[in-house]
Structure 1
Amino acid sequence: MRLIKKLSGLLTVVSIFNVLSSCSANVKSANYSNDIKEIKIGVTLYKQDDAFISEISKNIEDIAKEKENQGKYKIIVNVADAKGNLINQSNQVDKFVAQNYDVICVNMVDRTAASMIIDKAKSANIPIVFFNREPVEEDMERWNKLYYVGADAQQSGEMQANIIINAYKKDNRMVDKNGDGKIQYVMLEGEQGHQDSLIRTEYCIKTITQNGIELEKLADDTANWQSAQATTKMSQWIKSFGDKIEVVFSNNDEMALGAINAINDANIGGKKPLVVGIDGLPKALEAVKNGSMIGTILNDSKKQANAIFNLAYTLASHGNVNSIDGLEKGKYIRTPHAEVTSDNVDLYIENK
């Protein structure tokens, strides 16, 4: 009888212990920090005050927050601004390596200096997702944990040309204002040696001439993607050429908007040149809507940010990178562009 009572008491104690353990387990599973693994993604930007790069950066952070809210991982995205200085960027990568980040996303200050960044990450076995500024092919082939996300620069140049070609076919006097049978133009280039800048320029001009339209280049120069520099350049060209400038091609919207500032200040009158940019920035879309720009090429910052984050997240969580849509040659993702003119600009303004 005593034995039965002792066994009964022991079973009661065990039951109470199991209940308490169950409660404790439930509390732990509800505790975010104890139950969810942390992912750390470092992002270093060539210049955060570049409007398009700033859009990408913000979108990456927003996407990371949405993903974190799903509750699987705590996600830290640390964004650093190199301010156009390669030494700053190198130091930022050193910091990410020292703090054992899972992935480093790099928007290179100088695409030809990527090997230095690669060596740092490779020594720590940390994958790199380059974006917007594509390293040379030889560097991209140095390691199997290097990736690149960007847009198709050739496509953007061709589309920029198409906007002018279509305007010329619709009403050639709208473009060829002096009626001499050719288009006098100036070209605002982004940056010396920048791959996208070189390709956009080349294919814009090539596409127009291949369509049988004669061009005459009055001037070209770099304005380093910046509105203020473009305003200065355009002001100088207006002083030199006056209303002879019929089209302003710009490698990005920031410079296109800078050119518009100079045009407005010059009071050219009815012979204002047509201005076409690339990126689809909100201010540029408004300029297309009000007629200050004939068009722009949408370089979708949301799609690029999504591709960058998906790559980084998959790498950090040891997922299958090859399952990611759009991955080419196991390394590259290129997002598509879209032509924006007065005919469809409202659609893109709504979606911004």
Structure 2
Amino acid sequence: MNRRCKEALFMKTRLKATALLAGAFCCLLLPGGCADKPSESMAPDPIRIGVTLYRQSDTFISLLASNLLDCAKARETQDNVKITLNILDGTGNQGTQNEQVDRFLAQGYDAICVNEVDRTAASVIIDKARAADIPVIFFNREPVGEDMQRWQNVYYVGSDPREAGGMQGRIVVDLYDENPASVDRNGDGRIQYVILEGEPGHQDATLRTESCIAALTSAGVDIEKLASEPANWQRAQASAKMAQWLTDAQLRDRIEVVFCNNDDMALGAIDAYRAAEIPELPVIVGIDATPPALLAIQDGSLAGTVRNDAQGQAQAIFDLAYALSTGANPQEAVPMLDGQYVWAPHSIVTIGNVMQEYG
């Protein structure tokens, strides 16, 4: 039983006792006893949910946050309740995010949702939340398994990076199978590629990269890695890294595929080609299916992406937080919940389906 439920039970018991005493006192004073009167309804306290983001400037995270707000507004209307959804930007600083979590806990929020700056910091957050009896939902950046086991009121909502990477690789395999020359442009029988990765050591970056390459090798496609650089999920950094590669004429002319761990970096790679005034782009693929990436698929500059369901994840995050705040059953609120985890499925987006599904 969380803090809100305990408080509600205490208030219910206290109000009942007070009403009984008042009724007895009324009957003692008035000769005719007490006439029944309707009691005034007490407006419920607002549900307060705190959200802290690793970096709100991240396009996918910003989209997810916007969807969270939509979920809260819809539930307010549906249940006729007041919901305070306080979304804060961690600005890529774990110290800042820790302070934000501390404020949520000190102010007695009903649930907190954390998109970690550093996934190894989860244990500290979990221990503080457990001491305050306030449930925690991590999202988008998965804590290590040992930390998830520290308390039963800890949950994670996200997607499988292995699945995302595998689907990204599948996009290139399908293009190659359909028309080898569209990918293997120098005709040497192998695909030369570069990779723009997320943060060094970040689990999703590592697993997306590994699974992407594994998809090609398992399909029997001969590949050659030319270069890889971290661009920390950011479009500007990816553009700068790609621009450096393009200054090397020998490397530039050999790049046939640019794998990017997310769409922002894929768009950064496209920016670099355009800035260098190179008209023919290699095959560039991303992950997330953000609105700018979908537009890039439509104009032909992005070969494809993997949909990371921001709306579905936001709905699961909010439904979990709301259920935990009100004492409802989390499993009934989020049927996809598997123990402490909610895994959102991915899907491939290319020119073949972008207009039908997302146009």
TM-score, normalised on structure 2?
A: 0.88
* 1:116-150 deviation digits (Å, cap 9, x = unpaired): 11121111011100000001111111111110000
What CA distance in whole angstroms lies between the structure 1 residues aligned with 2:109 and 2:202? 28
CA contact 2:273–2:279 (8 Å) conserved in 1: no
What CA distance in whole angstroms lies between the structure 2 residues aligned with 1:279 and 1:37? 37
Give the match's secondary structure for 1:35: coil
Which 4+ runs in 1 deviate beyond 4 A? none
Where in structure 1 are there 5+ consecutive unaligned residues?
A: 1-9
- Kindly state the Cα deviation for residue 35 of structure 1 after the two structures are TM-superposed: 2.3
Give the aligned CA root-mean-square deviation in angstroms: 1.8
Matched, 1:344 2:347: no
1:308 to 310, 317, 337: 317
Equivalent position of 1:278 in the other structure = 287
What CA distance in whole angstroms lies between the structure 2 residues aligned with 1:82 and 1:306? 21
Equivalent position of 2:296 in the other structure = 287
- Kindly state the Cα deviation for residue 72 of structure 1 after the two structures are TM-superposed: 4.3
CA contact 1:274–1:294 (8 Å) conserved in 2: yes
Equivalent position of 1:54 in the other structure = 62
Give the match's secondary structure for 1:186: strand
Equivalent position of 1:215 in the other structure = 223
CA contact 1:183–1:214 (8 Å) conserved in 2: yes
Matched, 1:194 2:202: yes
What CA distance in whole angstroms lies between the structure 2 residues aligned with 1:46 and 1:269? 36
What CA distance in whole angstroms lies between the structure 1 residues aligned with 2:356 and 2:132? 45
Matched, 1:252 2:262: yes
Number of equivalences? 327
| Mapping of residues 1-352 of structure 1, within 5 Å | 21-22=37-38, 34-240=42-248, 241-270=251-280, 272-323=281-332, 324-328=334-338, 330-350=339-359
Give the match's secondary structure for 2:156: strand
Where in structure 2 are there 5+ consecutive unaligned residues?
A: 1-29
- The code of the aligned residue for 1:341 comes to T
What CA distance in whole angstroms lies between the structure 1 residues aligned with 2:33 and 2:282? 87
- Kindly state the Cα deviation for residue 242 of structure 1 after the two structures are TM-superposed: 1.6
What CA distance in whole angstroms lies between the structure 2 residues aligned with 1:238 and 1:209? 26
- Kindly state the Cα deviation for residue 14 of structure 1 after the two structures are TM-superposed: 9.5
What CA distance in whole angstroms lies between the structure 2 residues aligned with 1:325 and 1:238? 48
* 1:242-284 deviation digits (Å, cap 9, x = unpaired): 22100000000000000000011223334x2110000001110
* 1:101-127 deviation digits (Å, cap 9, x = unpaired): 111100000001111111211110111
CA contact 1:242–1:268 (8 Å) conserved in 2: no
- The code of the aligned residue for 1:339 comes to I
Give the match's secondary structure for 1:267: coil
Give the match's secondary structure for 1:261: helix
What CA distance in whole angstroms lies between the structure 1 residues aligned with 2:135 and 2:316? 15
CA contact 1:36–1:71 (8 Å) conserved in 2: no
What CA distance in whole angstroms lies between the structure 2 residues aligned with 1:166 and 1:232? 29
CA contact 2:56–2:91 (8 Å) conserved in 1: yes
- The code of the aligned residue for 1:242 comes to R
- The code of the aligned residue for 2:336 comes to G
Give the match's secondary structure for 2:49: strand
- The code of the aligned residue for 2:287 comes to I
CA contact 1:243–1:273 (8 Å) conserved in 2: no
Larger radius of gyration: 1
Identity %: 51
